[in-house]
Chain A
Amino acid sequence: MPSVGKTIPHDSATGHVTGAAPYLDDMPLRNDELLVGFVGSPVASGKLKNIDCSAATAIPGIVAIYTSHDVPHNKFGALFHDEPVLAENELLYVGQPVAIIAAETPEALATARKLVKIDYEETKPILSIDESLTAKRFIGPLRKIQRGDATSAIKSATHQLSGEFRIGGQEQFYLESQAAIAFPGEEGQLIVHSSTQNTTEIQVVVAEVLELGQHQVVCICKRMGGAFGGKESQAAIPALMAAIVASKTGRAARVIYTKDEDMCVTGGRHPYLVRWQVGFDDAGLIQGLRYEFYSDGGAAADLSTAVMERTMLHAENAYYISDIEIQGQVCFTNYPPNTAFRGFGGPQAVAAMENVVERIAGHLGEDAYDIRTRNVYGVDDRNVTPYGQLFTRNHLPEIFESLAESSDYKRRREEIAAFNAVDPMQLRGIAMTPVKFGISFTSKFLNQANALVNVYTDGTVQVSTGGTEMGQGLNTKIRQLTADELGVPYEDVLVMPTSTEKSNNTSPTAASAGTDLNGAAAVDACRKIKTRLAEFAASLLASVEDGLVPSPDHIVFENGIVFDQRKPAAKLEFGNLADRARRERVDLGARGFYKTPGVDYNRETGRGNPFLYYTQGAAVSEVLIDRFTGEMSVPRVDLLMDIGKSINPGVDMGQIAGGFIQGMGWATMECLIYDEAGKLLSHSPTTYKIPAITDTPLEFNCAMFPNEDNIHNIRRSKAVGEPPLLLGVSAWAAVRHALSHLTDDSSELDLTLPATGEEILRCITSLTQNGQADS
């Protein structure tokens, strides 16, 4: 029975529910193992003058304390080599690692931490995008994507609107905090177990920083307790700390961040300032649009320029805009470097665009849904993106229509208006927002993957790829794809830990493309083995008396059985075939490779075909607001996603629901709060609130939009990891719709994102003019 297309439980589900699936910190302590922690910068900005470790070193149980002087090559970085492993001369953000402590016990570590004395001279930090704009402190160049003449199109349009829109950051809040364990090996070798989305990057960075050959470092990742982008580049520092200690002491070294540390010193989704200007006609059709995107990059480049690139490539969201100008600039601030987070710049773009659409609707006094349907990309025309890629297989108009109907959008919208007109206590709102998410890395070279498939003589199979399992179900899908390709039962295939020893030079598991790339590579490896086995089987199954000459083309692999189509009665068991093949010296292992065809993008000119295809969808959210407290809930969500032909509907549905709720959290409740000195105050779940179970809408209808036209991708599937998150914006837009009932012209309504209770009450107060200044 083929397993692709079936709902099969997550391949570690049994381990998850019994507690038997180990994560990094669940590995037993080796006898010699050291616990490693760090001391961070006390200030957001300063000159580092001296580090006094003498008192800390004297604590019994402290084995070593290292500072930047002890690090052979103290620089690294995902895109630019601009980040020190340990602070050198400059202190760049609160908590930036300054010294690493290796201890025998957690108690000694805790004591020593307090005794490391950092002598510094505080300098004035940059703590917002605005301050960075004033100081002109940027990361990377200003980028542009442009088509037509937006400025004159806006000018000559019937209506113009413009404004500034602010978008808050978000913490990944993976449950398993950053973690790494390093084991020293022979001849300077190191084995680093890391909770990382990117084993190759850990290998490379460790080698560079310790001045080793890449061949001396192996990085392994079995699973992560969540990642969401937060372990794409930022697993590096903890892995480096463990590697430095292991390499210098010759002892095993373990780094496990506490949740507080993790939240304080790692970055998250970029806050944005968006300046926008739009021109449109009486029907709300957009004539011209200008954007300036400024992101808060934090104190090092990390992946920020790539994140900004994706923002710019999603700036128009689902709408065709003939004349458009998009500028993007990453700003330097004295916060931890912001980084990848599910959506990778896309969510900010979608929020910015939907804000514009809502304002147009407010200005014209129309239903924002109608503005959306008028501007949505066309199927046969109006279908070229601002960067010049032809948007093919556009299902958005059908999705809009189908979802509006299934969610009963129009009727509910009327009912809500009637409710709001009379109810003194509550406000309701409803909105539909779409997503069109481009799949592929926008850096061409990352669109490749390799896989290793080993068939054993009992017919069982191990498959390894560079893809990492963070909960998204990648391993389950790879298992399904491998099993089907070899025609063996799902149970006979196991996916092995990701390791640079088996898969070299891999890309991060990111950009939603984990299955697309690694699944295709695994299938490629299977095909190689199958070709060899088919040839061998053909010779075994040929029959002189029946007049059948050996024909590998007629060999079928199905349900663990191998047979010749022309004579299906003669069957070989797959295991038996493998065993016999080995005796005849047939190679039963293969390495597969895949590179995405036809993608290319020129960031200098802002033109190209960066994406293989687009995952599409829309969601309708309804919100309920307490007029007196601003408290908000989301009683109903209807969501429709085009994810092609699903490899595992159960797994994909999980991605859809989970992604949406994460996006809703970003759009409506999650808040990173800092003090004036740049220190994060909301650094644990007590103060940083992600959606809880009661925030999941009581009525939550998720559906897939069936289609089989994604012919370019593995088994006609589509990537699903990130796109649903961007639909969380619908909850924000619904809040805006609710608030629009308090004013005649809601184009003036300035609702920032996230729409927290506090922000909502601020808007209500200013709209109802009853806000007195009290403070």
Chain B
Amino acid sequence: MPSGNVLSYIVPMRDHIQLQINSDILKIRGQDAFLTLSDFLRRRRGLVGTKIVCSEGDCGSCSVLCGVVGDSGMQYQPIDSCIRFMFQLDGVHIVTVEGLKQNGELSCVQQAMVDCHGSQCGFCTPGFVVAMTALQQNRPANQPASESELREGLTGNLCRCTGYSSILEAGAVAAEQSDSASLVPAFELSPDARRVPIEVTATCGDAKHRVYSPTTVAEAVDFLSRHSEAEVKIVAGATDLGVQFNKGHIAPSDWLDLNRVAELEKCEIEDGCMVFGARATWTDVLLLAESTVPELYQVMKVFGSPQIRHVGTIGGNIINASPIADSLPFLFVCDAELTITSASGERTVNINEFYSGYKQMDLTKGELLTSIRVPLPPANRNLRLYKVSRRHDMDISTFTGAVWMELDGEQIANVGIAYGAVGPTVLRLKQTEEFLRGKSFTIETMTAAGDVAVKEITPITDVRGRSDYRFQLARNVLKKYYYQIEQEESQSVA
């Protein structure tokens, strides 16, 4: 139980962010803390090698390496600097494309990109060099990245010129080399500095900005309760908020930044459940899912891009409340339980009861989503997840779905179905489930279930697809499910 507002008075505060950019150690105060990292690099530091194309995390041209202290020293991951706020970067080491040369020479990734014609117009190139460097950094020394790892590792970077084949070639050449770039952080935050909350304020004309960056849930909810009058934006990975900010849809004066709250990072199996802190990143979730729920792993692998997955969080996905959020159909059919915390205590809610309309949910001011508990689907559930999008990778869904069935011989003993992008919220298809329960598992049944399913949904026509396409997908996914299970069974028999 958080213990009220005493905390903030006894704990000392810091009024600045401290980080390293390439070889410079910087303290960030005032207005600069509210800039995006890319603006800070380009406008304040003259580091114009980092390019801006979309300002929405979708092209990777603005990629930089972000080093965070982990269990085994500094861990460097690529992030999109256009949707990262400076106030989220306390204690990190940012390496831009300008910081990658090794003793004045091109790094092996840079050299390989030159030799293999990996650049044409060159605008995407700094982003690719950064993303490729990270791939190489994070591999065991004598295990070069495979072609599929290269491809998957570079899905966050768009190139319009090369058709990517020369880039893949460069990646393969660089992967063969053992001497990955050495990135040396020159500073580390003291344990004391890491423990204290940070509050940075700035005045710009009439506007006042404040960001509060606590280190515990207690401090966080305490802050919320003390500022119930203000419109405080809670920020986790900012992969949704950063885009909204850049496109002028939000301009909050107060931010509550969760990036330093370590207790929200949990991501483990506990009592037959996956338990996630709200700020578990998709990279963490993937790692856990790979060995426990392969089906989740498969569909989350194409969630955004590496840059997005390194910072985007499961909590952000849930609270952003989009009917096309990729995690939701899975969480729905698994009856995930959300823990919500405020200064006055904790409560839990089944995710199936959480949303009441488009972006409407059972969460009030002063409340924080703190954890998510997902019972592991039993082996006999035959869980299948679907994500249909225009492009296989790095795309927002046109349709999402989760289906499981427990079969008793030929009979459907129990079933769970949830669809996304077919209405204002992700939907549990209760009538279709009801229809299927007790029926025999045949293609005729699944086809008939499609007739029920399309009556439960209300898809619209939008930029990602027409409503009739979504209606058809709602039918077809059920049939596809049938053939998938059927094929699997015939394979396991064979």
Contact = CB atoms under 8 A, between A and B. Distances in A.
A443 interface: no
A578 interface: no
Among A12, A669, A694, find the residue whose CB has the most chain B CB atoms closer than 10 A: A694
Interface stretch (A86-94, A490-498, A678-686): A678-686
B155 A472 contact: no
Contacts of A421: none
A761 interface: yes
Contact of A9 (B56, B117, B396): B117
Interface string A644-666: 00000011011001111110000
Contacts of A177: 53
Interface string A68-108: 00000000000000000000000000000000000000010
Contacts of B464: 687
Contact of A23 (B51, B56, B162, B168): B51
Contacts of B136: none
Given A685-B58, A774-B468, A17 B110 contact: yes
B440 to A, nearest CB: 18
Contact of A693 (B109, B168, B451): B168
Given A225-B123, A761-B473, A19 B163 contact: no
Interface string B462-474: 1111111101110
Contacts of A671: 390
B46 interface: yes
Interface string B129-140: 100000000000
Contact of B472 (A14, A633, A681, A765): A765
A16 interface: yes
A235 B127 CA distance: 25
Given A18-B101, A654-B162, A673-B463, A694 B54 contact: no
B158 A758 contact: no
B393 interface: yes
A731 to B, nearest CB: 13
Interface string A248-276: 00000000001110000000000000000
A18 B160 contact: no
A398 B311 CA distance: 53
Interface string A217-259: 0000001111110000000000000000000000000000011
A631 B477 CA distance: 12
Interface residues of B, number: 91
B343 to A, nearest CB: 35
Interface string B201-245: 000100000000000000000000000000000000000000100
Nearest to A258: B55
Interface string A626-640: 111101010000000
Contacts of A661: 163-164
A698 B471 CA distance: 32
A10 B388 contact: no
Interface string A6-27: 0101101111111111110110
Interface in A185-228: 223-228
Given A659-B163, A692-B393, A110 B53 contact: no
Contacts of B194: none
Given A18-B110, A689-B391, A692-B155, A175 B51 contact: yes
A248 B49 CA distance: 32
A424 B98 contact: no
Contacts of A473: 120
B161 A654 contact: yes
B164 A696 contact: yes
Nearest to B115: A9
Nearest to B207: A107
Contacts of B160: 172-175, 226, 228, 658, 662, 690
Contact of B158 (A472, A650, A690, A765): A690
Interface stretch (B334-342, B348-356, B479-487): B479-487
Given A14-B114, A259-B55, A669-B391, A223 B121 contact: yes
Interface string B397-428: 01100000000000000000000000000000
Contacts of B121: 174-176, 223-227, 470-471
Contacts of A628: 473, 476-477, 479-480, 483
B49 A176 contact: no
A18 B392 contact: no
Given A696-B168, A761-B473, A684 B54 contact: yes
A636 B122 CA distance: 27
Contacts of A603: none
A473 B398 CA distance: 38
B432 interface: no
Contact of A175 (B101, B158, B390, B398): B158
B378 interface: no
A471 B120 contact: yes
B154 interface: yes
A21 B122 contact: yes
Contacts of A14: 106, 110, 114
Interface string B151-169: 1101101111111111110
B97 A658 contact: no
Among A20, A628, A684, find the residue whose CB has the most chain B CB atoms closer than 10 A: A628
A650 B114 CA distance: 11
Interface in A11-53: 12-23, 25-26, 28
A73 B125 CA distance: 40
B299 interface: no
Contacts of B447: 770
B51 A225 contact: yes
Interface of A: 7, 9-10, 12-23, 25-26, 28, 107, 110, 172-177, 223-228, 258-260, 424-425, 470-473, 626-629, 631, 633, 650-651, 653-654, 657-662, 669, 671, 673, 681-682, 684-687, 689-696, 698, 700, 702, 756-758, 761-762, 765, 770-775
26 contacts: A13-B117, A17-B114, A18-B98, A19-B50, A26-B48, A175-B51, A175-B160, A223-B121, A225-B51, A225-B123, A470-B121, A473-B120, A627-B480, A628-B473, A654-B162, A657-B164, A658-B160, A661-B164, A671-B390, A685-B54, A692-B393, A693-B154, A694-B151, A757-B388, A757-B390, A758-B466
Q: Which 7 A-B pairs have the closest CB atoms?
A: A19-B49, A471-B121, A225-B123, A16-B122, A661-B163, A471-B120, A774-B471
